[in-house]
């Protein structure tokens, strides 16, 4: 299912759990893996002087420096590289989200794997002129599924028995659904479909009565049945639920209860308003909190 995996990393500890998952997958699927690292942000002119993301120092870019960084990466991932002798290492300069997307466009991987946030932005090298983290910007428009491993707890990719598919009945969710199906068929595991009924923001101050909630739950269950079940005739093991609450909280809870090994969700294609990007949409919160890897699909 995955023949080419692009592992975008900061080559620091923050991405180690993502590395574990990426290399495990590469091994399991006999996939080609490319370690992609953005080493710095250009500071002037024709990008000859670069602000190194790790050392935060201004560096003059030349072949030697690039080779040195590549070597550092090799050393950092020595163990993982033993399992993937054909792995490529690619180093780039530029703004990370842009370069990751550029690499994905050129190399056409089947999956991008990333770690979560690499730390606070106070002294971040990426200046304040850009809104939104690398993750958000990549997830929004990545040309292939994006697998995010945010916490060490989320990095065990041993056997897969339970795939959680979170939906909001949007078109993007349909695409995520199809991907989840593919995955479940290939990995031969259970599919758990979940919809969270958002009781928070909906009714502008007026909270819904319990009857209203339960009627909406029934309606959602009907929608799941109508929308997804017809395509799942060949799936032996599945179930589906609708819970009310704050969506990302409920999904994480549901995944925990069902011992989910992977969550598949759609990343919304609507442009996030200023507010959204600060709070983070549902999927971003799920990524941050889930106890397993999360795959984001946007098309």
Partner 1 sequence: MPEGTFCNKKPVDTEEELKALLGDTGGKQYYEEMKSLEVDQDLLWKTIQNTLKSRLKTWLEICAHCGMCADSCFLYLINDQDPKQVPAYKIQSTLGEIVKRKGKVDNDFMHMVMETAWAKCTCCNRCGMYCPHGIDMGIMFGYVRGLCYQQGFVPWEMKIGAGMHRVYRAQMDVTDEDFVETFEWMVEEYEEDYPGLEVPVDKEGADILYTVNAREVKHYPEDLAEAAILFHLAGENWTVPTSGWEQTSLAMFAGDWAACKMQVEHVYAAMERLKPKRMVGTECGHAHRATVVEGPYWAGRSSGKPPVESIHYVEWLAEALREGKLKIDPSKRFKVPVTLQDSCNYVRNHGLKDITREIMSYIVEPGYFREMSPNREHNYCCGGGGGFNGIGLFRSQRNKALITKRDQVLNVGAEMVIAPCHNCWDAIRDLEEEYKIGIKWSFLKPLVIGMVEIPEHLKLKE
The nearest distance, CB 146 to partner 1, in angstroms, is 14
The answer to whether the beta carbons of residues 178 and 232 sit under 8 Å apart is: no
Could you tell me whether strands 111-115 and 190-198 are parallel, antiparallel, or unpaired per DSSP bridges? Answer: unpaired
The gap between the terminal CA atoms of the chain, to the nearest Å, is 17
Please state, in angstroms and rounded to a whole number, the distance separating the CA atoms of residues 116 and 135: 7
Between 86 and 269, CB nearer to partner 1: 269
Between 102 and 225, CB nearer to partner 1: 102
Please state, in angstroms and rounded to a whole number, the distance separating the CA atoms of residues 52 and 125: 8
Identify residues 138-157 at the interface with partner 1 (CB under 8 A). Answer: 141
Residue 55 binds partner 1 (CB under 8 A): no
Residue listed under structure tokens 């069902």 = 258
Identify residues 201-230 at the interface with partner 1 (CB under 8 A). Answer: none
**Segment lying near partner 1 (by CB under 8 A), choices 20-28, 60-68, 113-121, 247-255:** 60-68
Residue listed under structure tokens 């009781």 = 199
Identify residues 248-277 at the interface with partner 1 (CB under 8 A). Answer: 269-271, 274
For 153-212, the three-class secondary structure string (H helix, E strand, C coil) is HHCCCCCCCEEEEEECCCHHHHHHHHHHHHHHHHHCCEEEEEEEEECCCCCCCCCCCHHH
Residue 44 binds partner 1 (CB under 8 A): yes
For 256-285, the three-class secondary structure string (H helix, E strand, C coil) is HHCCCCEEEEECCCCCCCHHHHHHCCHHHH
Residue 45 binds partner 1 (CB under 8 A): yes
Per-residue binding string, partner 1, 78-117, x by CB under 8 A, is ----------------xx--x--xx--x------------
The nearest distance, CB 269 to partner 1, in angstroms, is 5
Residue 127 binds partner 1 (CB under 8 A): yes
Per-residue binding string, partner 1, 231-250, x by CB under 8 A, is --------------------
Residues forming contacts to partner 1 in the complex (CB under 8 A) are: 42-49, 60, 62-63, 94-95, 98, 101-102, 105, 127-129, 141, 170, 269-271, 274, 299
């Amino acid at each position: 299912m995955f023949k080419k995996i692009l592992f975008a990393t900061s080559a620091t500890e923050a991405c180690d759990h993502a590395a574990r998952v990426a290399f495990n997958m590469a091994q399991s699927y006999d996939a080609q893996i490319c370690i992609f690292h953005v080493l710095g942000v250009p500071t002037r002119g024709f990008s000859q002087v670069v602000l190194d993301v790790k050392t935060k120092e201004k560096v003059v870019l030349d072949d030697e420096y690039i080779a040195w960084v590549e070597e550092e990466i090799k050393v950092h991932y020595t163990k993982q590289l033993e399992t993937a002798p054909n792995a490529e290492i690619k180093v780039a300069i530029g703004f990370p989200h842009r370069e990751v997307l550029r690499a994905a466009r050129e190399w056409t991987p089947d999956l991008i794997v990333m770690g979560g946030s690499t730390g606070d932005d106070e002294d971040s090298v990426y200046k304040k002129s850009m809104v939104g983290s690398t993750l958000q910007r990549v997830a929004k428009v990545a040309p292939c599924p994006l697998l995010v491993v945010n916490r060490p707890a989320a990095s065990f990719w041993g056997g897969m028995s339970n795939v959680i598919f979170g939906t909001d009945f949007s078109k993007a969710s349909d695409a995520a659904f199809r991907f989840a199906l593919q995955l479940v068929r290939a990995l031969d595991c259970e599919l758990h479909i979940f919809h969270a009924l958002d009781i928070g923001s909906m009714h502008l101050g007026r909270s819904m009565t319990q009857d209203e909630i339960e009627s909406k739950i029934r309606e959602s269950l009907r929608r799941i049945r109508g929308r997804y079940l017809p395509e799942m005739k060949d799936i032996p093991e599945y179930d589906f639920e609708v819970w009310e609450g704050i969506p990302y909280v409920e999904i994480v809870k549901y995944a925990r209860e069902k011992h989910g090994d992977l969550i598949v969700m759609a990343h919304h294609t609507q442009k996030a308003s200023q507010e959204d990007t600060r709070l983070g949409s549902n999927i971003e919160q799920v990524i941050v909190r889930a106890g397993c890897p999360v795959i984001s699909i946007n098309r």
